[in-house]
Structure 1
């Protein structure tokens, strides 16, 4: 099985996201699948973390110290062993999030939902349902900017904290366990900001490329080939038409159970 889903060439700028992670951590591959930019653009994102020209270097300030273990990217399930941790990005979405929640309830699986701040604010009833049904919340920024690793500290901080505030308000104050940078565009600074707020930076190992909509069969095949013990799995329930993601999950989840996999949350 593949250790990581490589959905494209990893941009050089993205590699800085993983400096200072714990030894043996696996760097997440980019997945710029956000198709409806919250900031009002066309929604088209550069493929595989590509950037629109060179940006000037920015001076990094130092947030207060937090334990290194809290800043390291989490790529594995908390239970370990023959288990996996399912995560769902870019929601909540008024069509695909309810369907996904129904599917998870059918198979009695708990997952982590990585929410875009304005989407959480727009659909608070879905955020509350996610929490009520025993799933966990993850901060996935305000604008899903896959170039965040090249932005100034103040911009990164605002993207993380403003999204968390929106999620907090939508959920009624439920704990936000994780922060996942858009497209995996972490920096040492953003990881420390997240950890300071009690959010573990969240990576992944399995990325079946569902955000590209390559077809249900391709998504399922990639997911199965990449699955391994303890893996965090990346899927999407928001960011556009997720009919392929939903149908792929409908086939993939029972396969996981047939293969004897248990389900756990990611290490927090």
Structure 2
């Protein structure tokens, strides 16, 4: 009798295991997990990549050079000095600089940013009409342009010159100036291929840092030598101090050396 009871109990245990061992939830279709198998977050990656993952990365920049490359023009080659104005044309400051140059009867070089040319073509026309010289200063004032791929440098400089010539058909653009003076052999070579000489400077009064007017004047007057190229700005910010210094500088430099664009 005991053997029969044990056998029946064993068969009952086997049937219980077979009936409950398939791992299915107790209530089908409810979406609730079984108590013994809690839901786990999916370990699979998102099947739809984000735009940041699919965007093409910019090429790595070349290392910055440790010295200025060859081929830069850092003097006029004659006794006269050159005044150069960067980062315009600006609707507030460029007309006032032009007024002062006209009052002093001297000509300057304007290094133009392409995005500003596109916004203010009438100022480019006035610069040319009043006999000043033009210089390509890149499309958007990219400090690192010289370290980018050569094709990108060429496209940038070409686009800027095209914008200048859209404002003034047939305009001469004999010079290129690299923003921040961060020259590389590659940007010098591309500028030359496009018919432009690389225009650097010999005197930088750092007018962009907004020194006082007496300090700005002293930096130019004490730093300039015959044939010097003076860097100043008519765009890119508040140029009221540059404007205030210009009448004295124009008179002094013109008296001592004469002022004319580099040729």
TM (normalized to structure 1)? 0.72
- Deviation track 1:12-60 (CA, whole Å, cap 9, x = no partner) reads 82435x33x1xxxxxxxxxxxxxxxxxxxxxxxxxxxxxxxxxxxxxxx
Contact 1:75-1:266 at 8 Å conserved across structures: no
Structure 2 residue 227 is the aligned partner of structure 1 residue 227: no
Equivalent in 79, 98, 102 of residue 101 of structure 1:
98
Equivalent in 115, 123, 138 of residue 141 of structure 1:
138
Contact 1:14-1:149 at 8 Å conserved across structures: no
What is the Cα deviation at residue 73 of structure 1? Answer: 1.0
Structure 2 residue 262 is the aligned partner of structure 1 residue 266: yes
Unpaired runs of at least 5, structure 2: 1-62
Q: Distance in 1 between matches of 2:218 and 2:75?
A: 21
Q: Distance in 2 between matches of 1:261 and 1:14?
A: 34
Structure 2 residue 119 is the aligned partner of structure 1 residue 122: yes
Structure 1 residues 77-116: aligned runs within 5 Å:
77-78=76-77, 80-81=78-79, 83-116=80-113
Contact 2:81-2:260 at 8 Å conserved across structures: yes
Equivalent in 64, 73, 91 of residue 13 of structure 1:
64
Counterpart secondary structure, 1:129: helix
What is the Cα deviation at residue 266 of structure 1? Answer: 1.6
Counterpart secondary structure, 1:90: strand
- Deviation track 1:100-149 (CA, whole Å, cap 9, x = no partner) reads 00100001110110000011111111101101111110000011111223
User: Which stretch of structure 1 is more off in the superposition, 147-156 or 228-237?
Assistant: 147-156
Counterpart secondary structure, 1:263: coil
Equivalent in 186, 203, 210 of residue 183 of structure 2:
186
Return the index of the structure with the highest Cα Rg: 2
Larger relative contact order (Cα-Cα within 8 Å, sequence gap ≥ 6): 1
Q: Distance in 2 between matches of 1:141 and 1:242?
A: 20
Aligned residues: 201
Unpaired runs of at least 5, structure 1: 1-11, 22-71
Partner of 2:72: 73
Partner of 1:3: none
> What is the CA RMSD across the aligned residues, in angstroms?
1.5
Q: Distance in 2 between matches of 1:149 and 1:89?
A: 17
Counterpart secondary structure, 2:135: strand
